[in-house]
Structure 1
């Protein structure tokens, strides 16, 4: 062990020691010689301790304990055989651990997870961590290892990987490791692909005019000369097959195309060769939009309900495509071919969450118009409460004004059996059921009553029927439901019946949800009793294993609705729809005369006095930034519009067919009204003479705009921006900077598989602008694009850190460096000792303690030492004589300690003398005063 100083400049403070000696020599304190020098030495010790503490005195020890982290690459780019070899390597290496060596294991894929923390003894057989193998983030694994190393150890990393990283930078982290004296050994996991053919990309223009020839460019990479068959599909339909001879390396094929009809077209090229190894990288995808006249997609949820609105739009020369519930586009790129979307009386549970997110992104980021038309399956009663579609519309789905309504009592009876814990589409069914119950609670008014009962083989009342005033408390109780057990629904139904029957509410409703078969019981008889007590029943069957027939019968007897869903994500929308229907406050079947805003842009040119009454509507609430063009006499929205992002959205809360709009369909202004509403929402796309493109390579997207006038002049200084929407349907605003004359560029991260769409908007110096859409697609994860180890990267990591390439597992714990010098601060101890000595220094300088004081102090200690006066047991032979001797000794001691006092009584009649004052102290005190006076005389100047 050695000593070191972290702040040696503080040693200058030792110069105080000579000063203390000089001050001590001139001191006037009258102290004995020895005490005086003892006080000086104590003070010097305190100063020395404090100076060493300020200098940061440390005890330095050499520690040769070693900690080794093994990083295992389990991404898809590493074949299964190489992963097995890596496990065997780590197992063999761990057997070489010595004494106090430490080892840990980290697994890496799209992220890095600690498999085993550093320990002296490890047993490692397989990777238990669950992480995505679609990417490789070696940098994250190295960061995790560097952060997890114990202090004061020799640090080493053994990296078992193919080096094909596509997230982060391992080389940057290796440089940090080198600066921290961490060795990195690399064991390359080399995959052997000899007959592989990859479809790297399918390139095409994002937009083409009708009838304009264009080409698809297919880029292939082959590891050997071979022949291949290429199948080309358009919108999932086989278009043509091509035979091609491939050379080793990169091959490019041109596939000419001509399309005579506007629309969205997705192309897919599939490569087929003999002895191919990885089918995942044998296809490439792309899409193209053929632009024509503005086009509207009309989705009607009520079969036959389109017979009035569709002819009106066609008569107004608006190109309209009619689809049913299954025709709503599944992806954002498909929506791009339309300029407006109409949803008429479409139930929300029949549209997936992904479709709703695509609709919201289409309006907000691509400028597509959205119109929702009311009906008994639309707006809040259609289940759109708190959905992405509600975000895009100008109205809220719930009622936010005070109104007198009949009270509702509702019981939610939820299956929490073991099967409800299963996940579907990434979410547990019981979690979505809880989410649905909480959403239903939020919709209720404070005067309504809510109860929640769950069941497995037993019944549990989670929330006893109560007013919905403390919604947070009710939600917290619902959130605590956990799945497990069998399925017995009858007891839960019976309890729900008892609670609702005892309620005084005018409206009583029960919602059943299960995904299985319950034990037999008289369910239909119980349902009849409930119906006889004025209780309605709705049932939700989740999955094909549920008791569909029984639930249908219960809903029919209970005069409610039956729902079947194989998508648990639709459960919340079903529950909110049922809650709104049961409350009877959202559907108004009463005739009213619309009140119009004559200044509204949507009503311009329409003869408003001739507008006929409507026979009903769905109650909603206008959003703060929206505008009401038509309202009911009570002020409820009927026609409300607003701008949402780049697009426009309209809500019409009545319908457009012969139900609530019976008088409207024969009104002369019917066609003009709907023509103006639809044309107001249609996306406005100014024609652009410039070329926009989107390309993705190596996990990075690049948006480019080539701005060149028809005469060949570069257009500079444009204000350009792009909204990029990835597979997750979240938009990213991307400013484009000018990188060359007439060329603008922006880059973004593109790490997910799927479609990427960029909507470019730009303005020139005069304020004139236009927009353009470009798109690209990532066909498969990048793990399938790299077929060999990234040897240059691995070599650089080894070179930077001074590690070894392909080391033997026997060498994993061999120490090749001197031990680590570990410094331990001892200045806190020095400061503490100095602090403890300081009161003693003050006492020695300020207190005059004489010999008699020490004698008195010793006497007090002697008296306090009571154990020394304990009687010693006498020998058994002479107990009485010993006792007498002890008594005599005690009496003599007491006579010696008691002072003699002589009391003289005054003579009779004599006056008592006053008490005499004590005389001046003698002895030691006189001697001390004399020495002080002599010292004072000597100090006076002569």
Structure 2
């Protein structure tokens, strides 16, 4: 250990301190004796501590311990991650006991796998998860160097192939060197492999219908051979060609034709013999084809859209008809249509992801939407609180419309271990949405079950929905599956409910033991007019049992493959039980706000025989209404798009007079056309360039319209939107940057403001990040970059054969300083308090010290020997010691009160009074004897002569008198 000072010249203050202390001791001082010495000593110590504090006293030890952080590249290009982990663990075994080891892994991001400590690396400590789609070496180095705690012997061991595609690792190399951090590198050299990659696909961004164009395909290969190049339009193959591949870059041009209007995504894919990696075999491009509009019809029941198809044909509108199960799961495919029509489609037929995409397509990309009614649409279809309800001009709640029968509903929810995760969360969301749909006069109960039923919510009126919803949200998942006890308990409880309609919904994803008691339960339900619907989640559910229960209890059976449809099923069940959504009586619609459809609706309207009740939203335009009044035809603007609600059907069941009406075709053609996007062409030219995980936008405003503010709304395949502000870099030119974390196709919609008004720029284009840049073929020697990094930081290039070399570097001892500022301040403060006590407090310091000494064990033993008396050996010596102590006490008392101390002559001792005669006034108090003295007429008689006192007794008397005076 050593000592150093930050400001050693301040130690010169100790010289005047010595002279000041000498002067204070020799000069007159208010205190005398020992207190004077103590006061001067304390002040000298305090000043000395303060001088050491100002001088920056530090102690230090020399440290030779090593600190090593392993930084491992876990990106997709590092295919042998297990060998990397094994090498790191082997290298850690070469450390000394006090050496510290840390571990960090990197990809697009970086995570700490093991904090810096003296323990060895183990397989369990190397489980960090990163995004492997990109390599960001610079970010990994920043995190690794932040772990170091010492000031020297710090090494980062970077294990990578050097294929970074984000950032520049060499930019921070010199800074690391200045900080004393060394980077050792272990290059990962992947063996040569046969690989063919589609590097790019280029086509014109805008085309006209039936226009010919060229596909420009760039293919890179590491070997020579042949392959088959295939082209796809929206996942439909449009051509293939056998091509010869040479090592290096190969460019091919193929002819194509714009066959259909809309935004289309094209894909080029190569299939080559001997190719060892398929992740980079495809690339994509977007183009928009101008032409006649196209409509997507989604029909709930096959063959029920003939009337609607005839309407579109008469209006020369192209269309496609699909089943709800075939709805696309990519946003780009919805952009190929100008409008989407749901024809009597139930919500449980549409997945939650598809609903979100359709809502986003209408709101952000201007695609139209129309819902046509029927027994499975609107509220009867379970669209309450779904993304589809958000974009419609009507809501599914019937607020104060009509008298609705009271409902008693019990939800029986499987909470077994197999329901953990998304299943139980969606089941709880379904139950909560159903509770929200009910009214205060309805009764609801919720029982969750595993191998035993558990009543989450006892059957109760919905006076406090929030409390019921909160209890539902607390349902955990655990245990096995036994259906019968839960259904039996629900049946028993619902019998006590007073309601006009009683219903049970059973949801499970598992098997249950057969129980003969089900027949008795079904008999009781039928006698008491209780219905039950069952929901089977997944193929592992007891399908046969659930079908039997639903049929026996006169309910409905649902087999759910997509768990996101559960909320729609529960909402639909609640609506179907009440059966108040369907208004089944004839009427002539009333005109409300016809707008530009006035001419088509004039001259009288046909009768309607039924519809699905709904409530018009506050900002929606109700065109036709029923006598209730409920909206029959409503429309509104939703974001960038438009939507229309027709609450009756188009099959002829409720609208038979309408489908035979002469104006039917013209009216419904206009309804569909009204939903089409309102822009014919985008007023902007959009260019995108992908660099690493960043996409750079450049938007040029065409014409005189230059918005004050502009932003790009980008939606990926997961329907999540990202808003990118675009900055005007030059007149009419806007730029922006977006970070992406995964590959995929993306659509761009531009939105701006000019003069305080919003401007919809439409869907300019799309862009694609086809595959991770980790799968690009190498174009340069990346290991050379790693060697440069090691040279710039003074590091080494390690080898796979010698992992022990990680710790074989020369250490440079460095000082580990210890700061004493706080300790010196505390010590000075405590001594300052002691100094105040010595100078200001008038305490019997001598007696306190004597009492302390008397309490010592050795002193108690000496007192016990003195108690043996003078007859014992050594008694006279002990008596002399007592006299000596009394004399010392007298000197201290005199010094304490400012006397001359031990050097002053003691006052003359008076002779002790004579003892009273034996048997005389010996019993009288001393005070009474003194009081009688003034009355004496004559002086007291002379004392009889006494023997001369012994010298020792006289000295003892004087000391006792001094002691008594000191106590006053």
What's the TM-score bracket when you normalise by the shorter of the two chains? 0.7 to 0.9
- Cα offsets for 1:803-855 (capped at 9, x unmatched): 22235412212343413432222211111112211222222333456xxx334
Q: Quick one: which of 426, 449, 454 aligns to 2:443?
A: 449
CA separation in 2, counterparts of 1:856 and 1:244?
Answer: 113
- TM-superposed deviation, 1:86: 1.7
Q: Which moved more, 1:531-540 or 1:152-161?
A: 152-161
The alignment partner of 1:148 has SS state of: coil
Which residue is 1:229 aligned to? 228
Contact 2:750 2:760 in 1 (8 A): no
The alignment partner of 1:371 has SS state of: strand
Which residue is 1:244 aligned to? 243
The alignment partner of 1:281 has SS state of: coil
Matched, 1:783 2:774: yes
Which residue is 1:568 aligned to? 563
Q: Which moved more, 1:456-465 or 1:621-630?
A: 621-630
- TM-superposed deviation, 1:923: 9.2
Which residue is 1:407 aligned to? 406
Residues 402-801 of structure 1 aligned to structure 2 (within 5 Å): 405-421=404-420, 428-522=422-516, 523-584=518-579, 586-589=581-584, 596-598=591-593, 601=595, 603-607=597-601, 610-611=604-605, 614-623=608-617, 625-631=619-625, 636-666=630-660, 670-687=664-681, 691-705=685-699, 721-737=711-727, 744-760=734-750, 771=762, 773-787=764-778, 790-801=782-793
CA separation in 2, counterparts of 1:164 and 1:38?
Answer: 74
Contact 2:152 2:180 in 1 (8 A): no
Q: Aligned residues, how many? A: 888
The alignment partner of 2:226 has SS state of: strand
Q: Which moved more, 1:518-527 or 1:736-745?
A: 736-745
Larger Rg: 2
- TM-superposed deviation, 1:925: 14
CA separation in 2, counterparts of 1:270 and 1:923?
Answer: 118
- Cα offsets for 1:897-923 (capped at 9, x unmatched): xx9960317999x99xxxxxxxxxx99
Contact 1:694 1:774 in 2 (8 A): no
The alignment partner of 2:926 has SS state of: coil
- Cα offsets for 1:485-520 (capped at 9, x unmatched): 443211111111111112223322211222232211
CA separation in 2, counterparts of 1:15 and 1:349?
Answer: 93
CA separation in 2, counterparts of 1:10 and 1:383?
Answer: 84
The alignment partner of 1:386 has SS state of: coil
CA separation in 2, counterparts of 1:381 and 1:602?
Answer: 31
Contact 2:332 2:717 in 1 (8 A): no
The alignment partner of 1:377 has SS state of: coil
Residues 379-398 of structure 1 aligned to structure 2 (within 5 Å): 379-398=378-397
Residues 859-870 of structure 1 aligned to structure 2 (within 5 Å): 861=852
Q: Which moved more, 1:254-263 or 1:196-205?
A: 254-263
Contact 1:341 1:369 in 2 (8 A): yes
Q: Is the alpha carbon distance of 1:144 and 1:532 closer, same or farther for their aligned partners in structure 2, counting shifts above 3 Å?
A: farther
- How well do the aligned residues superpose, as a CA RMSD in angstroms? 4.4
Which residue is 2:217 aligned to? 218
CA separation in 2, counterparts of 1:165 and 1:73?
Answer: 10
The alignment partner of 2:836 has SS state of: helix
Which residue is 1:903 aligned to? 927
- Cα offsets for 1:735-770 (capped at 9, x unmatched): 545667876544322442221122346799999996
CA separation in 2, counterparts of 1:153 and 1:470?
Answer: 65
CA separation in 2, counterparts of 1:863 and 1:639?
Answer: 108
Matched, 1:46 2:32: no
Contact 1:199 1:220 in 2 (8 A): yes
- TM-superposed deviation, 1:282: 1.6
Contact 1:413 1:513 in 2 (8 A): yes
The alignment partner of 1:279 has SS state of: coil
Q: Which moved more, 1:602-611 or 1:15-24?
A: 15-24
CA separation in 2, counterparts of 1:5 and 1:573?
Answer: 76
The alignment partner of 1:604 has SS state of: helix
Which residue is 2:92 aligned to? 94
Q: Is the alpha carbon distance of 1:863 and 1:744 closer, same or farther for their aligned partners in structure 2, counting shifts above 3 Å?
A: closer
Matched, 1:834 2:828: yes
- TM-superposed deviation, 1:257: 1.0
Q: Is the alpha carbon distance of 1:708 and 1:490 closer, same or farther for their aligned partners in structure 2, counting shifts above 3 Å?
A: closer
CA separation in 1, counterparts of 2:269 and 2:785?
Answer: 32
Which residue is 1:59 aligned to? 59
CA separation in 2, counterparts of 1:16 and 1:593?
Answer: 113
TM-score by length of 2: 0.80
Matched, 1:121 2:141: no
Matched, 1:804 2:828: no
Contact 1:524 1:553 in 2 (8 A): no
TM-score by length of 1: 0.82
Q: Is the alpha carbon distance of 1:468 and 1:96 closer, same or farther for their aligned partners in structure 2, counting shifts above 3 Å?
A: farther
The alignment partner of 1:77 has SS state of: coil
CA separation in 2, counterparts of 1:413 and 1:381?
Answer: 21
Q: Is the alpha carbon distance of 1:553 and 1:815 closer, same or farther for their aligned partners in structure 2, counting shifts above 3 Å?
A: same
CA separation in 1, counterparts of 2:373 and 2:438?
Answer: 21
- Cα offsets for 1:27-52 (capped at 9, x unmatched): 99632277446534423432443454
Contact 2:133 2:741 in 1 (8 A): no
Contact 1:524 1:554 in 2 (8 A): no
* Unmatched segments (≥5 aa) in structure 2: 887-912, 916-924, 936-960
Contact 2:330 2:717 in 1 (8 A): no
Contact 2:65 2:153 in 1 (8 A): yes
Which residue is 1:915 aligned to? none
Q: Which moved more, 1:362-371 or 1:694-703?
A: 694-703
Which residue is 1:914 aligned to? none
- TM-superposed deviation, 1:298: 2.6
* Unmatched segments (≥5 aa) in structure 1: 422-426, 912-921, 928-942
- Cα offsets for 1:383-404 (capped at 9, x unmatched): 3333333333344444566976
Which residue is 2:344 aligned to? 345
